[in-house]
Amino acid sequence: MTERLVEGLEARNLQLWRGDRCLFRQLDIVVGGGRLVHVQGRNGAGKTSLMRILCGLALPDAGEVLWRSRRIERVREEFHLAIAWLGHRDGLKQDLTALENLCFSNGLRRTCAARQARAALGEGGLDAVADLPVRVLSAGQRRRVALARVQTSGAPLWLLDEPFANLDAASTSFIAGRLSAHLAEGGSIVLAAHRLPSGLTAHAAVPLDAA
């Protein structure tokens, strides 16, 4: 029998324990192009732990994560070029400007065009603060800068952990629109959040509370 090939991210039979508590077991996920997978659960259910496993920052107690049907540890460089990660923390360098942050981060993986980076900041309503140090920006502005970094990464797979946390309605709506645009272009997203904002619909859900 020929093994099924998946042109995207796949997790098979994942299991993770914290002490004597199992956060999740026998967990399977498939993320193809144009699809949004919503990781659901209350605080402490294991959403962040699962996201870190999916992007290769942590290991499960059992199971495996594959990229295009190959274990991610065997195609590490290819996998890292294919993903863009946004965690609870924005991961921005506070003393660099918004524009410098985009160029620095994305320049580590490919040539970064300052014009493209500035255009992405402009789409996020950040023209006026593009040349200011990130440390002086509001929480919503920093989150938009972090999303612009993801948007300009060129990565087809976005892994986002609570991207709407502590944002006002305008920032939430903007980010939801950017995610919808990425999906429409054939990109894929795994998103951990209590709930999705209006206008954003998941193709599959991964509930963790029942683990």
Query: Which amino acid, 43?
Result: N
Q: What confidence score (pLDDT) does residue 140 get?
A: 86
Separation of alpha carbons 155 and 24, rounded Å: 28
Question: What is the rounded CA–CA span in Å between residue 109 and residue 121?
Answer: 19
pLDDT (tens digit per residue) in 164-199: 887 888 888 888 999 999 999 999 999 999 889 988
**Domain-by-domain residue ranges, the chain?**
9-207
CB 155 within 8 A of CB 81: yes
* pTM as predicted: 0.89
Q: What is the pLDDT of residues 116-128, one digit of tens each?
A: 889 999 988 899 9
CA 47/CA 44 separation, integer angstroms:
7
Q: Measure the CA–CA gap between 38 and 194, rounded to whole angstroms.
A: 9
What pLDDT was estimated at residue 115?
84
Residue 151 tokens read as 């948007």
Q: Which segments in the chain show pLDDT lower than 70?
A: 1-6, 107-112, 210-211
- CATH fold label, 9-207: Rossmann fold (3.40.50)
Q: What is the pLDDT of residue 198?
A: 87
- CA distance between the termini of the chain: 32
CA dist 66 → 29, 56, 78 (Å): 10, 10, 12
Please report the pLDDT score of residue 105 as a whole number. 82
Residues in the chain: 211
Which pLDDT does position 182 carry in this prediction?
A: 95
- Identify the burial level of 21 via C-beta atoms within 10 angstroms of its C-beta, where 0-12 means exposed, 13-18 middle and 19 or more buried: exposed
- d(CA 106, CA 120) in angstroms, rounded, equals 13
β partners of residue 49: none
What pLDDT shows up at residue 109? 60
Residue 63, SS3 per DSSP? strand
The pLDDT, as a whole number, for residue 92 is 92
Handedness of CA 35, 158, 68, 113 (dihedral sign): positive
Tokens of 117: 């980076």
3-state secondary structure of 6: coil
Which residues are registered as beta bridge partners of 65?
11
The fraction of the chain above a pLDDT of 90, given in percent, is: 68
pLDDT at 107: 67
